[in-house]
Chains A and B, each alone.
Chain A
Amino acid sequence: MATFLTLDELAATIGDGMSLAIPNDQAGVAMAATLALTARASKNLPKNLHVICVPISGMQADILIGRGMVSAIETSAVTLGEAGGAPRFADGIRQRTFRMMDATCPALLAGFVAGQKGVPFMAIRGLIGSDLMAARPDWRIIDNPYADDDPVVVVPAIRPDVALFHAPEADRFGNVRIGRHAELAAMAHAARRTLVTVERISDTSLLANENEAAGVLPALYVSAIAEVPRGAWPLGLWGEYALDGDEVARYAQLAQTPEGFAAYLEGAMRRREIAA
C-alpha cells in the first residue's frame, strides 16, 4: 500500500539501472521530483536509467539525459513543443551517450497494455515498411494465426521498475486522481512500483463519490506519494495550472550548451520554490 514520503525521500527510491516510465507533458509530469533527483550529489545520482516515455516526453527526458543519467530511451518523440527541439536529447544522439529506441506512440502504449495484462506481447497494426522495424529488433512480424496472408507486428510487454507522475490529488488512503489520463493507469498497472507527487492530499476518500471514482487510480497500484504543490512546474497540470512558457523557453535557450544546461539546473530548484 502507498506510503507517504517527502519529495526527497520519494526521489531517493529511484536507483541505478532502473527502468523508469514517464508520461507525456499533457498527463502530469513529476518535474519537481525530476529536479530533486538531478540535484543529488554525483555519487548519489542514479545512472544508467532506461527511460520509457508514455508515449512521448519533453523537458523531463531532456533533463535526465543532460544530467548523464540515461543509458537508453524508448520513445516516440522528445520535443519541447512550442519552445522547439530538445537540445540535450539531440546532442546525446550525436554523441551516442545513450541507446535510442525509436517507437511510434500506439506501439509503446501496446507494450504497456501487454504489461498490465501479464501477457508476453501485443499485436499492433501499421509499422510494416517503416524503418522503425530495423531500428527495433525486439519488434517482430508474425503471421496472423487466424487469417491467411496477414502479417502483423508484435511488441514485447513493458514492465518498468518504476512509474513516476504528478497528479492533482491523492487521498490519505493512497488513491490518486488521474482524470481522463488512462495511460497513467496503464503505466501504474504495468510497473513494479509507482511513485506519485500530488498537489494536495485529501482526508476524504476519492472513491467515496461513485460519479468520480472512474477517474481514480486505486492505492493497490501506488507505492509512494509525496505532496508537492506545483509539482509539474514549469510544465502545466490538467485542470490546475498552465505551462510556464517563458520558463520552458528559458530552458530551451540555456540547454543549447552543456554549460548553459548546468547553469539552468543550478538555479532551477530555487526558481521552483519562487514559482510555488
Chain B
Amino acid sequence: MTGAPATDREILIATITDLLDGVRTVAVGMSSPIPAAGAMLLRARNEANGRAPVRIIVLGSRDHNFLTNGAFELFDAAAQGRIDAFFLGGGQIDGQANINLVGTGAYPDNEVRWPGSFGSAFLYFVVPRVILFREEHSPRVFVEKVDFVSAPGHSEGVARSGGPHALLTGKALFDFDKARQRFRLRSVHGGASVSDVRALTGFDYDAADTVSTTPAPDAGTLALLRGRVTDELAETYPQFAATLAAGFAA
C-alpha cells in the first residue's frame, strides 16, 4: 500500500525533483513522463513546505501548460531567460555531454534513424539547468563520441547561457563539471554497483571520492508523489500514471 518502500521509478522521479530544487520555472518536453512527474513533485513539495512557488510547463498537457503563443512561446521564453530547467535525452550521449537525437552511422543515410533533433540545438544553449535523462544505461547509449552532434555540450566564443547540469540514468546519477567538461559520478541507484556503472558506460568519467547510493524519497515526498502527482500526471500520461499506481499498490 502507500507505506510500501519507494520503487526504482519513484526514486528516479524524486531524484529529478531534487535536481530541480531552487528553480522558478521548469519545462518538460513531449513524451517525458518521468521528468514531468519530477517537475510536478517539486511544485507539490514546495507548496506543501511553504517554499517559493514553481511554475511548470508540460508540453502535450492542457492542464499543466499555461502558454498561449503556440509552438513559439517555449523557445521565446527560454531565449528571454525565463525557463530555468529543461530535460534532454539522446539516442547517444557522450562524455562531453554532446547529444545525438538523429541516428547512428554516417549522416544522412543513417543505419538507425531516430526522430530528429527537436528543439535541442537551441534549448541546450539557453536553459541554464539542462538535465540529461536516459533510462537505458548501456554502452550503445553512453558512447565515447556521438555519431552526430544534435547539440554540443559545450561552446567556445558563442553566446551561451545554458548547458548540461546532470545526467540521470536508470543506474546512476552524474554531475557535469563545466570546467573540466566531464561527468562526475555522484551516486548509483540501489542494486547497481560502481563497477557495473563503469562497465556499462562507454565514455570515461570522474567519480566522487565516495560514491553514495541514490537516496530514496522521504515519507512526505513519497506521499505527495503517490497522491497528488499521480493524479496530475494522469491527464497527460494516463498509462504511465496507472503503472505508477500499480507499482505502489503491489
Where the two chains meet, the residues of A that have a C-beta atom closer than 8 Å to any C-beta of B are 24, 26-27, 54-56, 75-79, 81-82, 85-86, 89-90, 93-94, 96, 100, 102-107, 109, 124-132, 135, 149-152, 180-186, 238
Contact = CB atoms under 8 A, between A and B. Distances in A.
Interface string B2-43: 000000000000000000000000000011000000000000
A79 B115 contact: yes
Contact of A94 (B113, B124, B148): B113
21 contacts: A24-B71, A27-B70, A56-B115, A76-B117, A79-B31, A79-B115, A85-B113, A93-B113, A94-B110, A104-B122, A124-B122, A125-B122, A129-B158, A130-B121, A130-B150, A130-B152, A131-B107, A131-B150, A135-B107, A181-B71, A182-B68
B102 A102 contact: yes
Interface size class of B (residues with CB under 8 A): 35 or more
Contact of A152 (B113, B117, B159): B159
Contact of B71 (A130, A131, A152, A182): A182
B157 interface: yes
Contact of A93 (B75, B108, B119, B122): B108
Interface in B67-87: 67-73, 75, 79
A129 B149 contact: yes
Given A104-B118, A105-B71, A107-B122, A129 B113 contact: no
Contacts of A152: 159
A129 B122 contact: no
B155 interface: yes
B113 A126 contact: no
Going nearest first, the 8 A-B pairs with the smallest beta carbon separation are: A182-B70, A77-B116, A104-B121, A79-B115, A126-B122, A106-B75, A129-B152, A126-B125
Nearest to A26: B60
A195 B34 CA distance: 38
Given A180-B69, A183-B71, 17 more contacts: A26-B60, A54-B71, A78-B116, A81-B31, A85-B113, A85-B114, A102-B102, A104-B119, A127-B122, A127-B125, A129-B158, A149-B157, A151-B157, A183-B70, A184-B70, A185-B70, A186-B72
Q: Is the interface of A mostly helix, strand, loop or mixed?
A: mixed
A54 B30 CA distance: 15
B122 A78 contact: no
A19 B31 CA distance: 29
B117 A126 contact: no
Nearest to B67: A180
B126 interface: yes
A126 B121 contact: yes
Interface string B87-123: 0000000000000011100011111111111111111
Nearest to B150: A130
B235 to A, nearest CB: 11
A186 B30 CA distance: 22
A85 B113 CA distance: 9
B79 A128 contact: no
B57 interface: no
A86 B115 contact: yes
B71 A55 contact: yes
Contacts of A102: 102, 108, 116-117
A88 B103 CA distance: 15
B167 interface: no
A75 B119 CA distance: 11
Nearest to A150: B159
Contacts of B239: 82
B229 interface: no
Contacts of B59: 26
Contacts of B102: 102, 131
A52 to B, nearest CB: 13
A89 B124 contact: no
B21 to A, nearest CB: 26
